[in-house]
Structure 1
């Protein structure tokens, strides 16, 4: 049995009431948005007093940041596992990139409360404190993006891709596949038919390989 991820151990070690507050906060922020959500509503949904919420979190801003970062860490962990599953050993670069893209896209549906929070962040970006926004970007989107780059570099080192900047290539891959699907589905809120999702990912991978593939891997 492998080692339990650090973030999972941390979540398991949280006091029960703090876990309940975080779970309720994630749901309320995702449903009502950052500005409209109140600590009173979160306390009721968590089944605790308002005082108990403030015993664990200084204010609404800190509570929002905590649940946004915890959710981002969970998603980033999942992305790391998907990367290892599909891109650690490459048998067919096109097929492996497609398989990675499809599972990466599907992972959005495994974290519905977190991606409801992401929709809140995008909708209220000007109302969310900049320090909270920057912390979330660093732990979530930027971290997931940076995890892909070393895999692409190793694939290139094997002569299966041609690239000078692995991070730029990772950004292009994400834009052509995962980001495209997320924008069309509003992060899973309006799911596409599986066949349409597959078409987007496959077309994105083929475009990526036209940019970065070798003669043997170009579509």
Structure 2
């Protein structure tokens, strides 16, 4: 019988930690230099490893960039789906409950460290390297829109909303809750709690004017 050798847990953890350290360093470099200006040597210096280590873990610059976007997208998705679990499926006050939910979405997902990083990267590099963000579009916003649309569809089924296209409603809701904050966030300004409240309340008012049932107050 061939003996079964248990994996070295410490070694696996060390490998994973080094991989995340490289990705974090690469995120800083790509954000600071842009995709075109960054190179493997800069990432190696930032991470405190050799360039060969980066090649061993991630391959060339394009594969490293894609790994960074994938890692950040997964972390953002974790925050988004955690927040989606607080969606008001059985609202007592539809306006107030959707406003509170909108605030949580902006604070936990759009204003998070990862959200700010990805927004800056897309703004600076999205038009020059759209192919690098194709996976992000499918696995990031694509999943969020679908999950939120399903929740709005349930609200409509329960009689709270009147929707012909839940997917469109989901995209419009997300656009509305962030539109008044977008300019400041592009400049790196984190909105205050008062600004979050005002923006989300106005967004929900507009949203319900379009989608609230006519027989509901």
- The alpha carbon displacement at 1:33 in A equals 1.5
The answer to whether the 8 A contact 2:22-2:54 is kept is yes
Q: Is this contact kept in 1: 2:26–2:43, CA < 8 A?
A: yes
Q: Do structure 1's residue 149 and structure 2's residue 152 form an aligned pair?
A: no
Separation (CA, whole Å) in 2 of partners of 1:63 and 1:108: 23
Cα distance, 1:216 vs structure 2:
5.7
Counting matched residue pairs gives 205
Structure 1 residue 104 displacement after superposition: 0.7
Relative to structure 1, the CA distance from residue 59 to residue 114 in structure 2 (aligned partners, 3 Å threshold; closer, same or farther) is farther
Q: Give distance in 1, aligned partners of 2:215 and 2:186.
A: 34
What displacement does 1:38 show?
1.6
Equivalent position of 2:96 in the other structure? 95
* Matched residue SS, 1:15: helix
The aligned counterpart of 1:48 is 49
Matches within 5 A, 1:9-20: 15-20=16-21
Shift of 1:74: 1.4
Aligned to 1:209: 208
Q: Can you give the 5+ residue segments of structure 2 that lack an aligned partner in the other structure?
A: 1-12
User: Aligned partners of 1:112, 1:14: CA distance in 2, in Å?
Assistant: 24
Taking the TM superposition and a 5 Å limit, the aligned residue runs for 1:51-62 are 51-62=52-63
Provide closer, same or farther for how the CA distance between residues 113 and 151 of structure 1 changes in structure 2, counting only shifts above 3 A. closer
Classify 1:188/1:88 alpha carbon distance in 2 versus 1 (closer, same or farther; 3 Å).
farther
- How big is the alpha-carbon RMSD for the aligned residues of Structure 1 and Structure 2? 2.1
State the alpha-carbon separation in 1 of the partners of residues 14 and 102 from structure 2: 33
Which digits, 9 at most, give the CA deviation of each residue in 1:49-95, with x for residues without a partner?
00000001121111111111111111112111111113344222211
Give structure 1 stretches of 5+ with no counterpart.
Answer: 1-11
- Once the two structures are TM-superposed, the CA of residue 113 in structure 1 deviates from its matched residue by 4.2
Alignment partners' CA distance in 2, 1:140 and 1:181: 22
The structure having more radius of gyration, on CA atoms, is 2
Question: What is aligned with 2:196?
Answer: 197
3-state SS of 1:186 partner: helix
